[in-house]
Structure 1
Amino acid sequence: MPHLAASRALLPLVLLGCAGGLPGPKMPTPLARSDAGAIAPWVAETTDTMPREASFRWSYLDGRTEGGAKGRGSFVIVAPDSLRFDFRGPLNSGAGAAFVVGDSAVWALPEEDVQKLVPNYPLLWAMLGRARAPMQGDQVQSATSRDVTAWRYVRGADTVEYLISRTGTRQLVADVRSGGERIGRVLTTFDGEGRLSSARLDIPSRPARLDLTFYRHGVPDSLPASLWARPDLDAP
């Protein structure tokens, strides 16, 4: 009964979407008019001048495959905004990779698999603990308190929201909407040393959910040119 099993796997995601409940702290209201200079220190708080790398375990659930999909992956980030992101399934099956600069992919292989996992690059950056700066022309809104810093970019009916919570465990929330419809929402949690611990992406429109659990953090020993080269995923 594969269809029944898939439906059962999908049910928690459907119920979550119907309830309107997504995990993590909520955006405070109202937000006041702000500007890029005012929120620049908050964006900088999520970035690093040193190259960083980490490995992660991932799981993806959309109700189409019994038990969902699982695997491992890794990333390397080089300031200011270059990212190499790799993932693979069990026994190195279903491998994929992307080279991202800012909010655009230089290449992504297979492109449809990368888009399936993460439909928007600001969401991917948020899963790796990074907030993006506003684009020229964005309206900026913000609010801050002792425990919460929140800001929003508005461009017509498109919005990108960020929230940093310092209540207990430090968390970063990102919420991206296009034409008023939510593309996805990220909740990223850090450990006591400020390193990535876990990240969760909810995609209500499918519905689907991607979870990352991070381990083996570090600084790359080197940054060879091959790091940014398009890989041959069919090579043994």
Structure 2
Amino acid sequence: MSRFTSVLLASTLVISGCAPPRVVALPGTLAPIRQLPRGTLPDGRRKLVFQWELRDGEIGARGDGVARIASPDSVRLDFFLAGGFGSGAAVLIGDSLQVPGPDMARKLVPPRALLWASLGRFDVPAERDTVVRVDGTLIRADIGAPVHWRATFRGDTLTRLERIEGGRLQEWVERSADQKVVYRNEAARRSLSLVIQRSDAVAPFDPSIWIL
């Protein structure tokens, strides 16, 4: 077993007895039923270079990474442990997420909808009921009855997506203006933060990068 895999496996072994937090009512003024911002990827292809840090109880890991994004619905993530001890990759194309390796390593990758949200793409399963509230430049929406998703937009930009189950916040991802992205699994008490160092428009990718 590689040292990279050992770190990932060890980081999943922390067990917490605390329940995820309960959600509270949405702030803001109730808005008429309206279409939410589209929340799509920018046109073309981009390459992001980032630093990442994993926290799981007393255990942590960090390193560098690269995201190769092709609009409208494809991304490959490559991540490297600091010190050159190992690497891993994930590919998300539409609804199909590939994360080779041990099952426990998959726990470090957000579910499909939250992974898309980390890149600014809004893509959650269709639900019949949506409640929208407006608070200044913020648009917040509870999706589903009972609520399964809570989305926050600043203007047309998706800034936060939460997955809710049984009235409790299970997982969330948040994008901030300082190029930081945070994913948090409340049930597992595990978090992953990314700080984007560079974002460049690039030429078309070799088709082979989408195969792991």
Shift of 1:43: 2.2
| 1:142 maps to 2:132 | yes
| 1:43 maps to 2:43 | no
* CA offset digits 1:31-75 (Å, max 9, x no partner): 55736xx11xx124x53122222011000111252xx11011111
Gaps in structure 1 of 5+ consecutive residues: 1-9, 192-196, 231-236
| 1:34 maps to 2:23 | no
Gaps in structure 2 of 5+ consecutive residues: 1-13
Counterpart-to-counterpart distance in 2, 1:177 and 1:220? 36
Which residue matches 1:183?
A: 170
Q: Report the CA distance shift for 1:124/1:225 in structure 2 as closer, same or farther (over 3 A).
A: same
Counterpart-to-counterpart distance in 2, 1:113 and 1:85? 18
Judge conservation of contact 2:20–2:187 (CA < 8 Å) in 1: no
Shift of 1:180: 4.1
Which residue matches 2:10?
A: none
Percent identical pairs in the alignment equals 24
Which of 53, 61, 65 lines up with 2:55 in the alignment? 61
Shift of 1:148: 0.6
Counterpart-to-counterpart distance in 2, 1:19 and 1:120? 17
Structure 1 residue identity aligned to 2:159: L
Which residue matches 1:5?
A: none
Which residue matches 2:192?
A: 210
Which of 75, 93, 97 lines up with 2:85 in the alignment? 93
Q: Report the CA distance shift for 1:111/1:103 in structure 2 as closer, same or farther (over 3 A).
A: farther
Q: Report the CA distance shift for 1:225/1:53 in structure 2 as closer, same or farther (over 3 A).
A: same
Further displaced range: 56-65 or 174-183: 174-183
Structure 2 residue identity aligned to 1:152: D
Counterpart-to-counterpart distance in 2, 1:99 and 1:34? 35
How many pairs does the alignment contain?
A: 196
Give the RMSD, CA atoms, in angstroms.
3.2
Consecutive aligned runs of 4 or more in structure 1 exceeding 4 Å deviation: 17-22, 29-33
Counterpart-to-counterpart distance in 1, 2:33 and 2:96? 26
Judge conservation of contact 1:98–1:114 (CA < 8 Å) in 2: no
Shift of 1:229: 1.5
Which residue matches 2:115?
A: 124
* CA offset digits 1:122-169 (Å, max 9, x no partner): 11122223222x434443222234311112321x54612111246xxx
Which residue matches 1:102?
A: 94
Counterpart-to-counterpart distance in 1, 2:101 and 2:210? 16
Q: Report the CA distance shift for 1:135/1:113 in structure 2 as closer, same or farther (over 3 A).
A: same
* CA offset digits 1:172-228 (Å, max 9, x no partner): 11111245443311221124xxxxx00111211111111100011011223111121
- Larger relative contact order (CA 8 Å, sep ≥ 6): 2
